[in-house]
A and B are shown apart, each in its own frame.
Chain A
Amino acid sequence: MNYKKGLTIVFTGLLVLLLVSGIPVWADDESTTDAQVEVLPEETGSYGAWVIKSQLTLFPSSALGKPDAQGAIILWNGWISIKLEDKELDVHKISIWADNNGWWNSLVGMKIYVSADGSKWTKVGEKYISGSFLRYDFTGSFGNVRYIKVSRASWQWSILRLDAVYAEGGDELGVKNQSKNGNFK
């Protein structure tokens, strides 16, 4: 008992001695802030990235990228071929955004082709375009699509504008998410 009491006294004494004589205490300072990022849903498709060739088409580069309500004007029987962004996709849907402003409420036919190499084209469908910008979809098993060609198929006097082209692969969830975020009109 006395032994323990002695140790306690010695220990306490040492502590007091250290405190009085000055234990080295390093000063420091710290500041914190937060950092934020909102991660958007992954895009499961590819928009137009380069104009390969066009005929009777004004402002062809306006058909590249995401829809922005500005488009390449395709005259009479003009056409435009577009290379898509570099993505390996097993495409199941092709979408185009276009509008048509005619003098007689005309419907203007538009033919859509796809290609993996830019030389061998496969027709995926045909639509009649009328009124303000809308998205027109063509579904099917298109495989690896790297190029989309849009050809006007009528001679009416009207302004046909191609806003964007899009090849979609992946699952349906991605499509729904993109719609929620306003990427699709």
Chain B
Amino acid sequence: MKRKIISVIIALVLMMIFALPAAAAVEQTTSASVTVGEVISITLSGSIAFGSLSPGVSEIGATGQSSGNPAISITVAPETNTNVDIGIKGASTSGTLALSNWLYSKDFAKTGIAGLTTSYVGVYTNVGVGDNAFYHWITVPMGTAPGSNTIDVSYKAVKTGTGF
């Protein structure tokens, strides 16, 4: 009798192990994250040249510049994924002509025309992908020493509102 009972118990245990349908479910969740970095890319096209000028002339336009055809175009490239501010600065490399005589404006009508400075000055704010015009002029005051004058003109794009 004892043997039969034990056999039944074992049979029941085996049934529980192998034959019972699994009714319970377990779920676990984890998180995944990625930070998309800001991409800012600009390309420069055009050139700035003024040829030969005598002292005593003012606001002479860059060679080849005309309304709708700026001396320099700064293109915010398509891969740029944030709006940007664009600034300009200059650095004298040769000659005696003061940096303030190298003038720029974002339109041919000379709106807000100003001389270059050694630190960046914002010209365009909150612009997206596309072209941004820079027109250039020069003033050669009386008394300027004859000779070649060259400067570097830099254009910088930064995320809008972050400063140069």
Please list the residues of chain A having a beta carbon within 8 angstroms of any beta carbon in chain B: 22, 25-43, 177
Task: Report if B114 contacts A (CB, 8 A).
Answer: no
| A to B contact number (C-beta, < 8 Å) | 117
**B52 x A38 contact (CB < 8 A):** yes
A126-B13 Cα distance, complex, nearest whole Å: 141
Query: Are B40 and A37 in contact, with the CB atoms below 8 A?
Result: no
Do A27 and B142 touch (CB < 8 A)?
Answer: no
Residue-wise, chain B 150-162 has the 8 Å CB interface mask toward A (1 for contact) of: 1111111111001
Give the size range of B's interface with the partner: 35 or more
Q: Which residue of B lies closest to A26 (CB)?
A: B162
- Does any Cβ of A come within 8 Å of B93's Cβ? yes
8 Å CB contact of A42 from B52, B62, B142, B152: B142
- Residues of B close to A36: CB separation below 8 A: 48-50, 148-150
Chain B residue contacts of A38, Cβ below 8 A = 50-53, 147-149
* Contact between chains at B56 and A22 (CB < 8 Å): no
Provide the bound-state CA to CA distance between A70 and B142, in Å: 30
Instruction: Tell me if B35 counts as interface (CB < 8 A to partner A).
Output: yes
Q: How far is the CB of A33 from chain B (nearest CB, A)?
A: 6
Interface centre among A25, A30, A42, by most B CB within 10 Å?
Answer: A30
Question: Per-residue CB proximity of B13-52 to A under 8 Å, as 1/0?
Answer: 0000000000000000000000101111111101111111
Chain A residues closer than 8 Å to B42, beta-carbon distance: 29-31
CA distance A5 to B52 in the complex (A): 67
Q: How far is the CA of A36 from the CA of B49 in the complex (A)?
A: 5
Q: Contact partner of B50 among A26, A33, A35, A41, CB < 8 A?
A: A35
> B122: shortest Cβ distance to chain A, in Å?
13
Q: Which of B112-164 contact A (CB under 8 A)?
A: 136, 138, 140, 142-159, 162
Residues of B within 8 A of A40 (CB): 52-55, 146
Does A41 lie within 8 Å of B149, measured CB to CB? no
Contacts of B44 in A (CB 8 A): 31-33
B54 touches A43 (CB 8 A): yes
Q: Is B64 an interface residue (CB 8 A)?
A: no
